[in-house]
Amino acid sequence: MGVNKDLPGGFEQLVMLAVARIGDGAYGMTVRRSLEERTGRNVSLGAVYSTLDRLETKGYVTSKHETGAAERGGRARRFFRLTASGLRALNEGIAALDRMRAGVASVPRPARAT
């Protein structure tokens, strides 16, 4: 890898953004849903989970299994949160992209706040 290791690439960025935007209720399904809604592409759960796993190995997210009785059918959910270093890496990656795109006429400026 490059000299600045581990700047997250495309999909990883998107997944981290999903986790960030969802906040507390971020687990596999909600991350997937968020991704699909905002990007318009359909993403498989497998894709989401393995990315999340890899992010966890890098220390960019942490996960915790739902405690107590999940009075809900199904396996205990695994909730994800962005770590400080994850946020840092995410912002660096985004910043680099922004610097790259600044002033390129054919590439639109980002929309204003939402």
- Residues of the shown chain interacting with a copy of itself in the complex, contacts defined by CB under 8 A: 2-4, 7-11, 13-14, 17-18, 20-21, 35, 38-43, 82, 87, 90-91, 93-104, 106-111, 113-114
Decide: is 20 part of the binding site for DNA (CB under 7 A).
no
Contact region with DNA (CB under 7 A), list: 70-78, 83-91, 95-103, 104-112: 70-78
DSSP assigned state of 79: E
Decide: is 67 part of the binding site for DNA (CB under 7 A).
no
**Helix H or strand E encompassing 62:** strand 61-65
Decide: is 87 part of the binding site for DNA (CB under 7 A).
no
Environment class of 49 (CB within 10 Å of its CB; exposed 0-12, middle 13-18, buried 19+): middle
Q: How far apart are the first and last CA of the chain?
A: 35
- The token duo for 59 is 């220390």
- The token duo for 75 is 């396996």
Residues 55 and 18 sit within 8 Å (Cβ to Cβ): no
Residue 71 or 110 having the CB closest to DNA: 71
- In the complex, the residues that contact DNA under the rule CB under 7 A are 1-3, 6-12, 27-29, 42-47, 49-51, 54, 58, 70-78
